[in-house]
A and B are shown apart, each in its own frame.
Chain A
Amino acid sequence: MSTVTVVNRLEIRFADLKKAGRGALVTYTMAGDPDHETALAIMKGLPAAGADVIELGMPFSDPMADGPAIQLAAQRSLAAGGSLSRTLDTLRAFRETDHSTPVVLMGYYNPIYARGVDRFAAEAAAAGADGLIIVDLPPEEAPELTEHLNAHGIHLIFLTAPTTDARRLPAVLAQAGGFLYYVSITGITGTASADEAAVKDAVAALRKSTDLPIAVGFGIKTPAQAAAFARIGDAAVVGSAVVQTLADSLDEVRAATEKTVPAVLGFVATLAEGVRAARR
Chain B
Amino acid sequence: MSHQLANSFRTGADERGHFGIHGGRFVAETLMPLILDVEKAYAEAQADPAFQAELDGYLKTYVGRPSPLYFAKRMTEELGGAKIYFKREDLNHTGAHKINNCMGQILLARRMGKKRIIAETGAGQHGVATATVCALFGLQCVIYMGATDIERQQPNVFRMKLLGAEVRPVTSGAATLKDAMNDALRDWVANVHDTYYLIGTVAGPHPYPTMVRDFQCVIGDETKVQMQEAEGRLPDSLIAAVGGGSNAMGLFHPFLDDASVRIIGVEAAGHGIDTGKHAASLTGGKPGVLHGNRTYLLQDEDGQIAEAHSISAGLDYPGIGPEHSWLHDMKRAEYVGITDDEALDAFHRFTRWEGIIPALESSHAIAQAIKMAPTLPQDHLMVVNLSGRGDKDVNTVARAMGVVL
Contacts and interface: CB of A to CB of B under 8 A. Distances in A.
Interface stretch (B58-66, B245-253, B299-307, B308-316): B299-307
B29 interface: yes
A111 B27 contact: no
Nearest to B16: A140
A83 interface: yes
B33 interface: yes
Contact of B305 (A62, A140, A165, A192): A62
Nearest to A63: B182
B290 A186 contact: no
A115 B303 contact: yes
Interface string B7-32: 00000000010000000111111111
A71 B33 contact: no
A67 B36 CA distance: 24
Interface string A64-76: 1101000100010
Contacts of B179: 62
Contacts of B288: 110, 113-114
Given A62-B290, A114-B303, A135 B24 contact: no
A99 to B, nearest CB: 28
A111 B303 contact: yes
Interface stretch (B124-132, B186-194, B234-242): B186-194
A121 to B, nearest CB: 15
Interface string B196-224: 00000000000000000000000000000
A136 B289 contact: yes
A183 B292 CA distance: 19
Given A84-B303, A111-B303, A114-B299, A141 B190 contact: no
Interface stretch (A40-48, A122-130, A156-164, A234-242): A156-164
Contacts of B182: 62-64
B74 to A, nearest CB: 45
A191 B190 contact: yes
A141 B25 contact: yes
Contacts of A140: 16, 24-25
A93 interface: no
Interface in A170-195: 172, 183, 186-188, 191-192
B176 to A, nearest CB: 12
B375 interface: no
**Most central of B172, B191, B289, B305 by chain A CB within 10 Å:** B289
A78 B173 CA distance: 12
B30 A163 contact: yes
A85 interface: yes
Interface in A63-120: 63-65, 67, 71, 75, 78, 83-85, 108-115
A237 to B, nearest CB: 15
Interface residues of B, number: 40
A89 B299 CA distance: 22
A212 interface: no
A61 B186 contact: no
A168 interface: yes
B226 to A, nearest CB: 40
B305 A110 contact: yes
Q: Which of A108, A159, A163, A191 has the most CB of B within 10 A?
A: A163
A186 B26 contact: no
B383 interface: no
Contacts of A224: none
Given A64-B182, A64-B185, A65-B189, A160 B303 contact: no
B139 interface: no
Of the listed residues A84, A162, A186, the one surrounded by the most CB atoms of chain B closer than 10 A to its CB is A186
Given A78-B304, A135-B28, A136-B27, A62 B178 contact: yes
Nearest to B21: A144
Given A62-B305, A78-B304, A113-B288, A138 B27 contact: yes
A183 B30 contact: yes
Contacts of B193: 186
Given A62-B182, A141-B25, A113 B289 contact: yes
B271 interface: no
A141 B26 contact: yes
**Among A62, A85, A161, A183, residue most surrounded by chain B Cβ atoms (within 10 Å):** A62
B302 A83 contact: yes
B227 interface: no
Contact of B24 (A71, A108, A141, A188): A141
Interface string B274-293: 00000000000011111110
B303 A161 contact: no
B8 to A, nearest CB: 25
Contacts of B290: 62, 110
A60 interface: yes
Nearest to A168: B33
A115 B34 CA distance: 30
B173 A64 contact: no
B82 interface: no
A65 B294 CA distance: 17
Given A141-B24, A191-B190, A64 B302 contact: no
Most chain B CB atoms below 10 A, which of A67, A83, A110: A110
Nearest to A78: B304
B262 to A, nearest CB: 33
B271 to A, nearest CB: 21
B33 A163 contact: yes
Nearest to B287: A113
Contacts of B34: 163
Interface of A: 59-65, 67, 71, 75, 78, 83-85, 108-115, 135-138, 140-141, 158-165, 168, 172, 183, 186-188, 191-192
Given A65-B189, A140-B16, 6 more contacts: A61-B173, A62-B179, A110-B299, A113-B289, A115-B302, A136-B292
22 contacts: A59-B304, A62-B305, A65-B28, A65-B30, A67-B186, A110-B289, A110-B299, A110-B305, A113-B287, A113-B289, A113-B294, A114-B286, A137-B26, A141-B26, A158-B29, A161-B30, A162-B30, A163-B29, A163-B30, A163-B31, A172-B29, A188-B190
